């Protein structure tokens, strides 16, 4: 889209390739942040329902890179990289301990509709709810390829964040 296009058109185009999810977690920011940089934790939570996660490489520091495959358990599901697998690689662009994570990811695919670099911005902040100090997490996923459904991306994030909550949250009554 050209710089001369109306600003509302540029904004609409940008929004079309973007999702934003929010989740409150009953866990301290330090624990939530650590779960983004620990490959064993990633394997357990950063995968939607109906998929398994294989981490090929992972360097959890600013500038560090990673390569991950998510494989569908159902043979009828279509993968982006192979018949049943979505493989992506990326790097940690910016890490602000316990506050912010910026990643750049890209699917490994021959499909032009699924190619292109995506940016994921994770913001963590303290939040008190029901007398318990926890963490508000906002995840913004920008630059979604045109062949990737925003609804599917949003659902995948929400499923993964449910697993993150199960991993990091304090049991109720332990505040």
Asked if residues 84 and 69 have their Cβ atoms less than 8 Å apart, the reply is: no
Could you tell me the CATH superfamily of domain 15-168? Answer: START domain (3.30.530.20)
Q: Express each pLDDT in 136-148 by its tens digit.
A: 999 999 999 999 9
**Token pair for residue 114?**
């699924």
Name the pTM for this structure: 0.86
What value does the mean pLDDT of the chain take?
Answer: 89
Cα distance between residue 95 and residue 151, in whole Å: 27
Q: Express each pLDDT in 82-135 by its tens digit.
A: 888 999 999 999 999 999 999 999 999 999 999 999 999 999 999 988 788 899
């Amino acid at each position: 889209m050209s710089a001369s296009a109306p600003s509302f058109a540029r904004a609409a185009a940008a929004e079309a390739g973007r999702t934003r999810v929010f989740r409150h977690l009953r866990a301290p920011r330090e624990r939530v942040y650590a779960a983004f940089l620990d490959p064993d934790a990633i394997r357990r939570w950063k995968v939607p329902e109906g998929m398994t996660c294989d981490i090929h490489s992972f360097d959890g520091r600013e500038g560090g890179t990673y390569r991950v495959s998510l494989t569908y358990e159902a043979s009828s599901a279509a993968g982006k990289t192979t018949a049943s697998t979505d493989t992506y690689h990326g790097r940690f662009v910016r890490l602000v301990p316990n506050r912010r994570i910026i990643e750049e990811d890209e699917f490994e695919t021959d499909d032009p509709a699924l190619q292109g670099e995506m940016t994921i911005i994770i913001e963590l902040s303290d939040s008190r709810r029901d007398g318990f100090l926890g963490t508000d997490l906002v995840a913004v996923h920008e630059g979604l390829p045109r062949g990737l459904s925003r609804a599917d991306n949003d659902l995948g994030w929400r499923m993964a964040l449910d697993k993150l909550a199960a991993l990091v949250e304090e049991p109720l009554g332990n505040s």
